[in-house]
Amino acid sequence: MPDKKSTDKNVRKLTKIGKKSIGLTLPIELVREFKWKERQKVTVKRSGKKIVIEDWKK
């Protein structure tokens, strides 16, 4: 299966999860760069018109 074009690499679709949630996949390159693991907790914040995802801290 061919790789996505480099211009399409960061284009993602929102996916419905259950009745009240929407999911978004992250590029594996970013997950590896941040050394995040499956089921790791992260925080999601709004910053103006952007969304910021950060590692969760107790």
Q: Tens digits of per-residue pLDDT, 16-51?
A: 999 999 999 999 999 999 999 999 999 999 999 999
Radius of gyration of the chain (CA): 13
pLDDT at 11 over 70: yes
Q: Tell me whether residue 3 is in a domain.
A: no
Per-residue tokens: 44: 């999601």
Residue-level pLDDT at 24: 92
Q: Tell me whether residue 7 is in a domain.
A: no
Range of the domain at 27: 12-55
> Considering its fold, how many domains does the chain have in total?
1
Dist CA 22 CA 33 (whole Å): 24
CATH number for the domain including 45? 2.10.260
Q: Tell me whether residue 1 is in a domain.
A: no
Report if pTM > 0.75: no
Q: Tell me whether residue 4 is in a domain.
A: no
Q: Which of 16, 32, 34 is nearest to 24 (CA)?
A: 16
CB-hemisphere CA count at 13 Å for 7?
Answer: 0
